[in-house]
Amino acid sequence: MSITISSATARIARQLPEAEVSLDSALLASARLMESMLLARQADGIATFTGQTALMRLAKTQRSLLETQNDMIRVHHELLGIGRDIKAIADEPEACPKTAELVEEALMLRSA
């Protein structure tokens, strides 16, 4: 399947924020879960440290989500650089006539 640079750019521009927001949603959901778990163990008859292992695993999951967000920020930054590079190449087509074709081919290989 072949895709033009402008189509790929539009698709990435739409999907990247969606991916970033989904990570925020996952963190918010896990924070709400953490709150519910902590409130639940304050109920009468529940031992003070009930569910501690589950809480520790949830905290580990939250750390992983934060690390994933950091990686997503890096992806966003890298894509911005690629966008600037491609724009610079597109602005000077005479410098290397096959550059646009090579860029499109590289984008197709990356998406495969």
Q: How many domains does the chain have?
A: 1
Interval 13-41 mean pLDDT: 96
Question: Considering the chain, what is the average pLDDT of its residues?
Answer: 85
pLDDT at 107: 59
Range of the domain at 33: 5-111
Long-range pairs, 68-74, Cβ under 8 A, ≥24: 68/23, 69/20, 69/23, 69/24, 69/27, 72/19, 72/20, 72/23
The secondary structure element, H or E, covering residue 77 is helix 52-91
With b for 16 or more beta-carbon neighbours within 10 A and e for fewer, the 35-60 pattern comes to eeeeeebeeeeeeeeeeeeebeebee
Name which residue leads in pLDDT, 82 or 1.
82
CA nearest neighbour of 13 among 86, 68, 64: 86
- pLDDT tens per residue across span 51-103: 999 999 999 999 999 999 999 999 999 999 998 888 776 665 554 445 555 55
Question: Residue 20 pLDDT more than 60?
Answer: yes
